[in-house]
Amino acid sequence: MVRSMVAAVAGLRTHQSKMDVIGNNIANVNTWGFKSYSFNFQDSMYANSINGSGGSVVAGAAGGRNASQVGYGSQLSSVTNEFGTGAPSPSSNPLDCMIDGTGFFLVGNMVNGSFTNVSDSGLFLSRVGIFRVDNNGYLVDDQRSYVYGYALKEGTGIPETPASKTVTAFRDLTVTIAGNGTVTIGGVQGGTVTGITQADLATGSEQTFKDVFDAWLRGGQAQTDASSTHNFSFEGVSTNNGVRGMKITVENKTNGPNAAYARFPAANQVAADSKQGTNWIPGIDAEYADELSAIQIPRDADGQQYEIQSYKINEDGTIIGVDKENRTIAIGQLALVTVENPNGLEKTSGYYYTPGANAGDVAAMKPNGGPAGKIMGGYLEMANVDIANEFSNMITCQRGFQANSKIITVTDEMLSELVNMKR
C-alpha cells in the first residue's frame, strides 16, 4: 500500500511540472517569436515482485515464467521545443521582419572586425526581428544587441563616384577666343563658341564666361579632360592685375596620375583636397561580403553616414534605404543561422538562444529561400502556441492530478482500516 502512495506522489509532482510548462506556454501566447514547449512523461523505476525465468524441455522440468514488476509512478522524460514557424503579424515599422523558415537571426554585443565562426563568437540566436537603427548607424534589436550580417562591399551599391578623389581648384586662368571662335583656357584648347569674342570678355558677365566654359568643354583637349576620369566645374570669374580670367575646379576620379592638372599652370592652383578610399562607381549592383560583421549604414565620399529616410528589407535579407536626396542606398544583408539540432539550443533571458552541447553544427548563411527560410519585411512572428491544444492538455493534466490525489486518499483510507483492525 505504501508503494501506491509513493507512485501517486510521483504522479502529482510530474503533473505539476507539466502544468508549469502549459502555464508558460499560455503566458507567452502573445510573445513575439515564442516557441511552445511540450512536456513528455515516462514511467518511473520498477521493482520485480517475481523474477522472470526461462523454461526447459528436459524431462521433469517446468516452463518459463515472465517477470512481475511494480512501478513507482511517472517522471519527466523531456521538455521539447516546437520550432514550427508562427503566423505573421503586420508591423508598421519597415525594419521589423520575421523568418519564414527554420533559421535564426544572429545578435549580440559588438564584435570587432569580421568573422565566420558563429559558435565561437559568443553571440546569441533569435527569432524576433524587432530592429531599429541606433545613433551610430548600427542595426540593433530592442534588447540593444547589434544585428549581424554581411556588409556592403566597398565600391558597390553606392550612388557617388568616387569615394576616393582629388579635387583641385585653379583660378585666374587666362581665357582666349580665336577669330574662328576656338576657346583656350589656361593653355588648354577646347571647343568653339559663336556670338562671343575676345573683346566681350572684358565686360562680359559671369554667364558669358559660363557659356565660354561650356563651349570649351565640348571639343578638343577639354573634351578628353571632361571624360569619365575627370569632372570639371565652372566656379566663377576672377581678376588678376586687371585681366579677367576664370576659376575652375577639377575632380580626379581615380588614384592615378593627375594628368589633367598638368595642362593648367601650376601657379594658378589654389586648393587641393584628397579623399582616400576605394573608387565607388555608380551603376554597380550591390555586392555583400562573405564574412559576418555588425550591420551599419555605409558612408559617403566625405566619410559621412547617409541620412536614410526610409527602409525596406527584401526576401533575401538585403536592407535598402532611401536618403534625403531620394537616392537608393544598399546598407547590408541579414544573416540566417542554421542549427543542426534546434532542440539542442538553450534559452537565455528574453528571447535569445545559445548553442548547447547537443546543438550540432551551427553555421551562418545568406537568406536564399531554402530550409533556413526567407525574410518577410514589415512582419513579426507570432507565438506558435495552440490555445485549443493547451487548454485540452490543461484539462487532461488536471484530471491526471486529481486521479493521483485520489490514489493518496484511497491509500490513506486503507491504512486507516489497517490501523483500526486492532480495535
**Cα–Cα dist 381/87, whole Å:** 6
**Cα–Cα dist 132/144, whole Å:** 9
295/149 same-domain check: yes
Q: Is the pLDDT score of 274 beyond 60?
A: no
Question: How many CB atoms neighbour CB 144 within 10 A?
Answer: 10
**Inter-residue contact 70 to 46 (CB < 8 Å):** yes
pLDDT for the residue numbered 69: 80
155/295 same-domain check: yes
Does the global pTM surpass 0.85?
no
In-domain check, residue 50: no
In-domain check, residue 55: no
Least confident span in 82-96, 190-204, 226-240, 279-293: 226-240
Q: List, for residues 12-58, the tens digit of each pLDDT value.
A: 999 999 999 999 999 999 999 999 999 999 888 777 778 888 878 88
375/391 same-domain check: no
Average pLDDT of the segment spanning 290-312: 88
Tell me which residue range forms the domain holding 237: 165-275
φ, ψ (nearest 5 deg) of residue 388: -60, -45
**Cα–Cα dist 350/163, whole Å:** 41
294/155 same-domain check: yes
Pairwise pLDDT comparison (252 vs 253), residue with the higher score: 252
In-domain check, residue 173: yes
pLDDT for the residue numbered 277: 44
pLDDT for the residue numbered 162: 44
252/180 same-domain check: yes
**Cα–Cα dist 237/210, whole Å:** 9
**Cα–Cα dist 286/203, whole Å:** 51
pLDDT for the residue numbered 252: 65
Average pLDDT of the segment spanning 325-329: 84
> What percent of the chain stands above pLDDT 90?
46
